[in-house]
Amino acid sequence: MALKITEKDLAGITVLVLLGRVTLGEESNQLRSLIKDILAKGKTRLVLDLAEVSYIDSAGLGTLVAGYTTARNLGATMKLANLTKKFHEQLNITKLVTVFEVYGSVEEAAKSFAPAV
């Protein structure tokens, strides 16, 4: 299944709901481009909802790291929410769990942001 991404606004926080697979090729390119576009619009608070991601490969992980790095370099913050058990295991194995802020729900991730100034 191709990757479908829905963009939502939650009290000034941009939430990207991902559905499908994040893999090498069109899917990871699509996600990378969307994150760059959002950051280019000056949006600095981003949450990726990964509840419906059925599979993520190393290229997909690379895309998340690249998005995180780009966000940090621009003074923005990207957080992950609703990880599947398998994806959580992948983050633990790769030690990326120490890089990303991971939350059990989008609401928890949204509450973790400091109030907008």
Domain membership flag for residue 94? yes
Domain membership flag for residue 99? yes
Q: What is the 3-state secondary structure (H, E, C) of the chain?
A: CCCEEEEEEECCEEEEEEEEEECCCHHHHHHHHHHHHHHHCCCCEEEEEEEEEEEECHHHHHHHHHHHHHHHHCCCEEEEECCCHHHHHHHHHCCHHHCCEEECCHHHHHHCCCCCC
Domain membership flag for residue 9? yes
At 75-86, the pLDDT tens digits run 999 999 999 999
Q: How far apart are CA 111 and CA 109, in angstroms?
A: 5
Domain membership flag for residue 12? yes
Number of domains within the chain: 1
Domain membership flag for residue 117? no
Confidence of residue 116 (pLDDT cuts 50, 70, 90): low
The pLDDT, as a whole number, for residue 114 is 80
Confidence of residue 2 (pLDDT cuts 50, 70, 90): confident
At 9-67, the pLDDT tens digits run 999 999 999 999 999 999 999 999 999 999 999 999 999 999 999 999 999 999 999 99
CATH number of the domain residue 92 falls in: 3.30.750.24
Which residue range is the domain that position 56 belongs to?
4-111
Domain membership flag for residue 116? no
